């Protein structure tokens, strides 16, 4: 073999090696297109979920924000041009999207031992990314006696003043029944009957004249800060943010909190479906869930993550044992089946004296 041929072969090998490395680098530099609700949760997810996965795999993320709903996903799937690899979903959308074939089935074996997941936090097509909750809150600097139960929220004699509530029957009716003596575990059994719905509206009517209705999550802590209400229904993350980041003297009452999951899922037509599924498995490990709680007051849907969370932080989270004793999981099936009918009644009820 002459030197030139040897050199030529070496150059060829070097080139082949370089091309191989370039291909590997190209694969490693792959990005996943993710759609989320944006805001503080997306920022927390980047730190707890996205960045560790990129460090481990070289796969990056491009994020896009949306307001929920399935119209755009359905249109993409119908056109066979799905540009999303990973989607952040609310419970009702996760259920509907799976039923309509818009999401890939998820192999739960990739999660390892799943016995520590909260009931209902893994579905056929999705895995819960966190737990958030609706609670009520008060300004500790303005109340001499601290409210502790849902009954206190409805007790205008013991705690006179206005109440802030989301302008929706969801959660309001569940709380009304608990305040009327229904144990949290039986709420949906009672609410599934016409007499139960009547009972809930009747109890809600006892504080109706004192209710200040809000429509966006940001309004709840603002009503409290302005002194417009004595207590308000609120999303737990909003109250935690106001207390921790704005030094507001707000306290959450966890009795009969109504909690729900948020979900990760992979669209049926996702171009990088396998990598997206690997990400979900990674983000669903106890340490990942525990890390999320460092950045936002949303809780892990996996019990093994609880031990990894600082005790001072744990008390701010929905699934902390001390907060979870009388928790109510939102029944998405009930609301999917009954929302239209109950919403119509609620709108009429609002106009009545």
Q: What confidence tens digit (pLDDT) does each residue in 232-267 have?
A: 999 998 899 899 989 999 999 999 999 999 999 999
% of the chain at pLDDT higher than 90: 82
Confidence class for position 28, pLDDT limits 50, 70, 90: very low
Mean pLDDT of the chain: 91
Among candidate residues 94, 110, 140, the one with its CA nearest the CA of residue 336: 94
pLDDT of residue 213: 97
CATH class of 10-130+261-314: alpha beta
Q: What is the pLDDT of residue 39?
A: 80
Mean of pLDDT values over 255-282: 97
SS3 state of residue 238: helix
pLDDT on residue 6: 39
Of 63, 2, 18, the residue nearest 37 (C-alpha): 63
Mean pLDDT across the stretch 49-62?
97
Phi/psi of residue 118, each to 5°? -65, 145
What is the Cα–Cα distance from 295 to 209, expressed in whole angstroms?
Answer: 38
Q: Nearest to residue 299, comparing CAs of 246, 250, 248, 262? A: 262
**298: part of which helix (H) or strand (E)?**
none
All CATH 3.40.190.10 domain ranges in the chain, comma separated: 10-130+261-314, 132-260+323-351
Helix (H) or strand (E) run with residue 155 in it = none
The pTM score is 0.81
The band of 305, judged by pLDDT with boundaries at 50, 70 and 90, is: very high
pLDDT tens per residue, range 83-103: 999 999 999 899 889 999 999
Query: Are 154 and 207 a contacting pair, CB within 8 Å?
Result: yes
DSSP 8-state secondary structure symbol assigned to residue 246: S
Please give the Cα distance from 333 to 179 (Å, whole number): 23
Spatial contact of 152 and 253, defined as CB atoms under 8 Å apart: yes
pLDDT tens string 99-136: 999 999 999 999 999 999 999 999 999 999 999 999 99
Q: Which fold has domain 132-260+323-351?
A: D-Maltodextrin-Binding Protein; domain 2 (3.40.190)
Q: What is the pLDDT of residues 318-342, one digit of tens each?
A: 999 999 999 999 998 898 889 889 9
Strand partners, 132: 260
- Is 17's pLDDT higher than 90? no
Whether the predicted pLDDT of 12 surpasses 60: no
- On the question of pLDDT at 8 being above 70, the answer is no
Query: Residue 97 burial by CB count (10 A; 0-12/13-18/19+): exposed, middle or buried?
Result: buried
Q: Which pLDDT belongs to residue 336?
A: 82
Residues 137 and 248: beta-carbon distance below 8 Å: no
**Per-residue model confidence (pLDDT) at position 16:** 42
Report d(CA 314, CA 311) in Å as an integer: 5
């Amino acid at each position: 073999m002459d030197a030139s041929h040897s050199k030529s072969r070496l150059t060829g090998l070097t080139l082949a090696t370089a091309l191989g490395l370039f291909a590997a680098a190209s694969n490693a530099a792959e990005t996943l297109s993710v759609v989320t609700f944006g805001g503080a949760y997306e920022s927390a997810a980047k730190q707890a979920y996205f960045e560790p996965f990129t460090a481990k795999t070289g796969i990056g993320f491009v994020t896009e924000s949306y307001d929920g709903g399935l119209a755009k996903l359905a249109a993409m799937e119908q056109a066979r041009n799905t540009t999303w690899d990973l989607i952040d979903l609310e419970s009702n959308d996760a259920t509907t999207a799976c039923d309509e074939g818009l999401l890939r089935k998820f192999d739960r074996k990739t999660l390892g031992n799943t016995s520590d997941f909260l009931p209902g936090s893994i579905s056929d097509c999705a895995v819960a990314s966190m737990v958030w909750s609706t609670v009520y809150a008060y300004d500790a600097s303005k109340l001499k006696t601290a409210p502790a139960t849902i009954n206190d929220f409805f007790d205008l004699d013991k705690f006179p003043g206005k109440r802030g509530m989301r302008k929706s029957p969801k959660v309001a009716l569940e709380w009304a029944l608990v305040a009327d003596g229904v144990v949290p575990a039986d709420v949906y059994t009672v609410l599934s009957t016409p007499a139960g719905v009547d009972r809930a509206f009747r109890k809600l009517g006892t504080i109706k004249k004192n209710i200040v209705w809000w429509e966006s999550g940001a309004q709840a802590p603002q009503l409290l800060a302005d002194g417009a209400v004595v207590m308000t229904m609120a999303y737990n993350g909003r109250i935690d943010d106001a207390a921790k980041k704005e030094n507001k003297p707000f306290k959450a009452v966890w009795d009969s909190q109504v909690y729900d999951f948020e979900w990760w899922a992979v669209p049926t037509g996702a171009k990088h479906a396998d990598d997206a599924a690997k990400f979900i498995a990674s983000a669903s490990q106890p340490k990942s869930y525990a890390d999320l709680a460092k950045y936002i007051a949303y809780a892990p849907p996996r019990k093994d993550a609880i031990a990894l969370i600082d005790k001072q932080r744990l008390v701010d989270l929905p699934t902390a044992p001390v907060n979870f004793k009388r928790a109510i999981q939102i029944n998405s099936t009930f609301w999917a089946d009954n929302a239209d009918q109950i919403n119509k009644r609620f709108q009429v009820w609002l106009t009545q004296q």
